[in-house]
Amino acid sequence: MLVAELVELIEQRYPTSWAESWDRVGLTLGEPSAEVTRVFLAVDCDPRTVEEAVSAGADLMFTHHPLLLRGVSSVAPTTYKGAIVHRMIKAGIALYTAHTNGDVAAPGVSDALAARLGLAGLRPLVPTADDRGHGRVGELPSAMALSDLAALVSSAVGDVRVAGVPTDTVRTVAVSGGAGDAFLADAARAGVDAYLTADLRHHPAHEHLANGGPALLDVSHWASERPWLDDVAAFLRQEAGLQTIVSDVDTSPWTFTLEDRNQ
């Protein structure tokens, strides 16, 4: 398969027109006429994941976060992003990004996160059109205490912070992959028992809880979006017959907690 053919296939599933106006999605690097047999998938395009892609013999790297989201005036190899660009070009690796168009897709980023919790009867938290939209709302297989939900999130997604009463019963849950405090009011209006997302800030979370909003579960940005890569990889294998490798390198900027250090 050629890069151009793979781009067409991806964009049938995740049209670039679905991306936010500020976003930068699509083909970032690579010759459209180059051949692709192996795709490497990662949340972020950074030096660690690029070296993984090179070692894996990948022809194309698919990432969720754009490498060039904000404008740059140089891609000289002496700059952080320039060094990445030069390394990928020299290695013959194309770069493709699906970001907010993957967030609102159905299935998309939040569907994969919801699946980790076994949520059923999914609907968009913030609908757009054609049953798409940001976030998902669904029901757990059975009601459980908030503390048990936190344990489930910890084992299925990653380390979690919780705001709520541990013994409160939870059945209906909203999830949103990535930074989700923009949807706190939507979670409250949805009448859910708990809301799982990432990058929650102190003041919006505090006001949300003071206004009687649902319990909050906060995981790392990377952890909330990593599950989606497995879905994309499966799609590329099934529809294009490509080899896929999914990166488990945690590209969160936080490298340890005090608990880790004391172990």
* Confidence band for 93, pLDDT divided at 50, 70 and 90: very high
Of 100-114, 118-132, 235-249, which range is least confident? 118-132
Residues 7 and 114 in one domain: no
Residue 38 lies in a domain: yes
Pair 95, 117 in one domain: no
Identity at 21, one-letter amino acid code:
S
Domain boundary, last residue among 188, 205, 223: 223
Is residue 118 domain-shared with residue 218, that is, in the same domain?
yes
Q: Of 164, 174, 166, give the one whose Cα is nearest residue 145.
A: 166
25 lies in a domain?
yes
Quick one: average pLDDT of 199-210? 97
Predicted local confidence at residue 114, as pLDDT = 98
pLDDT at 213 over 90: yes
pLDDT for the residue numbered 261? 58
The pLDDT tens digits for 125-135 are 999 878 899 99
Q: Quick one: 109 and 80 in the same domain?
A: no
The pLDDT value recorded for residue 260 is 58
**136 within domain boundaries:** yes
- Structure letter (DSSP) for residue 24: -
pLDDT at 256 over 90: no
pLDDT at 120: 98
Question: pLDDT per residue over 133-178, tens digit each?
Answer: 999 999 999 999 999 999 999 999 999 999 999 999 999 999 999 9
Number of domains forming the structure of the chain: 2
Mean per-residue pLDDT of the chain = 96
The confidence score (pLDDT) of residue 136 equals 98
Q: Does residue 262 have a pLDDT over 60?
A: no
Q: Where are the beta strands (DSSP E) in 183-242?
A: 194-198, 215-219
Spatial CB neighbours of 246, under 8 Å, sequence gap ≥ 6: 41, 42, 229, 230, 233
Strands lying side by side in the sheet with 26-29:
26-29, 94-97, 60-63, 38-42, 243-246
Confidence of residue 263 (pLDDT cuts 50, 70, 90): low
- pLDDT at position 129 is 77
Q: What is the pLDDT of residue 131?
A: 81
Do 86 and 151 belong together in one domain? Answer: no
User: Is residue 155 in some structural domain?
Assistant: yes
174, 194 contact by CB (below 8 A) = yes
Residues 191 and 93 in one domain: no
Domain extent at residue 14: 3-102
Last residue of a domain, one of 102, 137, 160: 102
Whether residue 231 lies inside any domain: the answer is: no
Q: Are residues 97 and 39 in the same domain?
A: yes
Across the range 58-85, mean pLDDT stands at 96
Residue 207 lies in a domain: yes
Residue 243 in any domain: the answer is no
Give pLDDT, residue 257: 78
Q: Which CATH number covers residue 206?
A: 3.40.1390.30
Q: Is the pLDDT of residue 80 over 80?
A: yes
The pLDDT of 8-29, averaged and rounded, is 97
Cα(33)–Cα(2) distance, rounded to whole angstroms? Answer: 6
- Do residues 118 and 205 both lie within one domain? yes
The reply to whether 117 and 215 lie within a common domain is: yes
Residues 45 and 98 in one domain: yes
Say if residues 220 and 198 touch (Cβ distance below 8 Å).
yes
* Structure confidence at residue 223 (pLDDT): 98
**What percentage of the chain has pLDDT greater than the value 70?**
98
The answer as to whether 251 is a domain residue is: no
Among 81, 102, 123, give the residue marking a domain's end. 102
Residues 109-117, mean pLDDT to the nearest whole number: 98
**Is residue 17 domain-shared with residue 88, that is, in the same domain?**
yes
Residues 143 and 76 in one domain: no
**Residue-level pLDDT at 122:** 97
